[in-house]
Amino acid sequence: MKFLADESVDRQIVDRLRIDGHFVWYIAEMKRGISDDAVLDMANRKKALLLTKVKIVSSTVNKHIKELTNAFTVITAGGIRIRQ
């Protein structure tokens, strides 16, 4: 799966997703300080799932990977919402 991680995402999450075999573009390695609109536009152009700061991303992705493609997903400490 392809992800675009905003610069607010902890490096450990990016590293863990890469270890899990996912492709991750990381704004902190690319264009620090760009606007949220530019980040969202980049995610859309790359057809990548956009990640913002969360702590449960890796386990959620691994658990729900088939449901995440072409879906809008919100992951919080309290749960996950996946909208196809």
List pLDDT tens digits, range 5-39.
Answer: 999 899 999 999 999 999 999 999 998 899 989 99
pLDDT score for 61: 83
> Which domain covers residue 65, as residue numbers?
2-83
Q: Are strands 2-5 and 49-51 parallel, antiparallel or unpaired?
A: parallel
pLDDT score for 46: 95
53 DSSP 8-state letter? S
pLDDT score for 55: 58
52-73: per-residue pLDDT in tens? 878 577 778 888 889 988 898 8
Domain count of the fold of the chain: 1
Task: State pTM to two decimals.
Answer: 0.72
